[in-house]
Amino acid sequence: MYFTVEEENLICLYHNADRRRTAANFRTALPEMDKEMAVLACQTADKLDSMSDADFAAQRFHFTDE
């Protein structure tokens, strides 16, 4: 699974114990996000939903300061 720098940074901010909780954190925060960030959060949550738990556990997410 390939994540953009923006998606990976978002995952780092909302990362939890597993992919389902991380995606749930995005969805919980949606009302507080502006439209552009909400689109990114939904797109990233959808990618997390489509990957396996094993793939998520093996993935290393790194915050990139651009």
Tens-digit pLDDT profile for residues 36-53? 999 999 999 999 999 999
For the chain, the domains span 5-58
19, 48 Cβ separation under 8 angstroms: yes
Q: Tokens standing for 10?
A: 């978002």
Of 2 and 1, the one with more pLDDT: 2
Diameter over CA atoms, the chain? 32
Residue 59 in this model has a pLDDT that exceeds 80: yes
Pairwise CA distance, residues 23 & 41, whole Å: 8
Residue 66 is predicted with a pLDDT of: 67
Q: Tell me: the pLDDT tens digits for 12-33?
A: 999 988 999 999 999 999 999 9
Global confidence as pTM: 0.90
